[in-house]
Amino acid sequence: MRLRSLTVTVPVLLLAACASPSAPTGGLEARSTYGLFLAGQAALNDGESRRAAAYFERASQSDETPNLISERAFTAAVLSGDIEKAAAMAPVGEDASEGVKRLGRLVVAVEALASGQGAVAYARLTEDEIGFPHRTAAALLTPWAAAQAGQMDLATRRPDVPGDKLVEYFGMLGQAHQYERLRRYDEAETDFKALTEGTDAPPMLVVAYGEFLERRGRRADAVALYDRALATYRRDASLSLARDRALARRSAPSPPTVRQGAAQAILTPAAAMLAARQSQFALAYVRLALRLDPERMDAWMMVGDLMGAAGDVEAARAAYERVPSGHPDYAAAQSKLAWSLQGAGETEAALETARKAAEDGDPTALLTLADLLRTNEQYEAAIGPLNQLVEASPSPDWRLLFARGAAYERMGDWPRAEADLTAALALNPDEPDILNYLAYGWIDRGERLEEALAMVQAAVDANPRSGAMIDSLGWGYYRLGQYDKAVETLEEAVGLEAGDPEINNHLGDAYWQVGRRDEAVFQWRRVLTLEPDRRIRADAEAKLASGVGPGVLAAPTRVAVESPPLVR
């Protein structure tokens, strides 16, 4: 995915005006405005905002700099996190595009807040010119600017943007913090209570209220609040750590400073932009939040996600590495870092990262380690962390039993695999993945075929476009000797998953049984071109070499669908 939300088409006439026939474009040594612009644009499209900013800055130093290049230099500075520089070059004037000017006003306001100039920030944020799409961010930041300017009557005024639920909801959170800063505790608690009513209040808001209660010396009330939320969000690290702190009677975090509160305020529209797939705006807002509070680890996590999605792996890893050991987001950051290394083919580094993170038994880290080990076909090693997770829970999650059962199956230990898969199915009887996996294990062994076929049919009914599940159904017909139905079903499966070697191998067997021998041979030869695993390759090669085709009950091969990773 590219970060293209702010991309503007470059007019041909502009390029012609800037062009130099001999201009290089590949590095910072490029001397023409045109070459630097193209190099910066390529870097920006590749998600490398810091390198893009360097190119655009060089280009913008030309005596006759086209306006577009200045705008790109500003945008790249924001995306790379150099907010001070971006504020200095924020586009103004009639020639600048309106959208970039609006972002510029927001950037200038945030830089003023970061520099302690609350009055300047307040004036900028209350200008009508900021407008869409930054109205939400401006409204949520305004009370914090007022607080920094000493205008506490304005700081406690809840922002109002008609029809904007984000402003309505998170404006109340900001108001609660402002009341607490003024020691108006009853009013603060009224807001906190309103925000956390019900059992599904977001953990962030629950923790904010709980910290307030802890600071007021009401630790028992805080623990009860955390316990209620943990009943819904059982694995939320922030809630667990807050509860442990309250029980141990350790000091609660201080109320947010103005800059910290402002950073939290702008992360709310950042998340909304991300949900709306406005990746560049989301990244811009997160960078603004980090200018206000460089220690916001959730913001660094968002930077890592956005830069990784844009293809800038190094920047993503650097962001994840900012999260220190002991922080609630540490295990999640290490998980993302490990998967980044795995995706780059650095398997040993990925596993080492996951092992180190899992040393203290953190559930998220253990899940990551187990998934990575299974991904790398180290199934026996994956049993260890899965055992830790299962044994640590009085009522194991069905996904843990499913994952461990799949690992046992891959190790060839079917009795243990069957026990775990059966237990997982008892906990979640309608889960298509368990139905398919367990049923296929029986089908491939010629056991409980009628029962297994009914289970697979239920899985297919739930996922009618799953080639793997339809393959299981076709293989069930094959095992029952219903070869015509097997051919029809397996052809459908191949149509959905044309590149799956197992499904093609099954279809070849079905063709052979109905007398379509040439097509069977074609399918087995095709299997060898699809990078099959060792067992499937050996099976196809044996049938081709013998010329007698498959037996009716061949040796078990493998389950037709991989068990899904537990965390990614």
Instruction: Indicate which CATH number applies to the domain containing 529.
Output: 1.25.40.10
Lowest mean pLDDT segment, chosen from 45-59, 230-244, 370-384, 536-550: 45-59
400 domain-assigned: no
pLDDT of residue 396: 81
pLDDT tens sequence across 179-214: 999 999 999 999 999 999 987 899 999 999 999 999
Q: What is the pTM of this model?
A: 0.73
CB–CB of 288/266 below 8 Å?
A: yes
Q: Which of 131, 158, 184 corresponds to the end of one domain? A: 131
Task: Report yes or no on 161 lying in a domain.
Answer: no
Mean pLDDT value across residues 61-73: 65
Which CATH number goes with the domain that contains 119? 1.25.40
pLDDT of 22 over the 70 cut: no
- Give the count of domains, the chain: 2
Range 317-336 average pLDDT:
90
Q: Is residue 113 part of a domain?
A: yes
Asked if residue 2 is part of any domain, the answer here is no
Domain residues for the domain of 526 are 430-546
pLDDT (average), residues 318-345:
90
Whether the Cβ atoms of residue 277 and residue 267 lie closer than 8 Å to each other: no
Q: Which of 208-212, 275-279, 458-462 has the lowest mean pLDDT?
A: 275-279
Per DSSP, the three-state class of 241 is helix
- Boundary (domain end) residue, out of 86, 103, 131: 131
Contact predicate 96/106, CB 8 Å = no
Per-residue pLDDT reduced to its tens digit, 503-521: 999 999 999 999 999 999 9
Where are the alpha helices (H) located in 216-346, listed in sequence order?
A: 219-230, 237-247, 258-275, 279-292, 297-310, 313-320, 330-343
Judge whether residue 432 has pLDDT over 90: yes
Q: Which residues contact 455 (CB under 8 A, 6 or more apart)?
A: 435, 436, 438, 439
Note the pLDDT of residue 38: 53
Alpha helices in 412-448 (DSSP H): 414-427, 432-444
The answer to whether residue 490 is domain-embedded is: yes
Mean pLDDT, all residues of the chain: 86
Q: Is it the case that residue 10 has pLDDT exceeding 90?
A: no
Confidence (pLDDT) at 30? 41
Assigned domain for 392 exists: no
Note the pLDDT of residue 55: 59
| HSE-CB for 286 with a 13 A CA cutoff | 26
Domain-embedded: residue 293:
no
Angle ∠(546,548,554) on CA atoms, nearest 5? 95
In a domain, 351, yes or no: no
Among residues 115, 131, 147, the one where a domain terminates is: 131
User: What is the model's pLDDT at position 29?
Assistant: 44
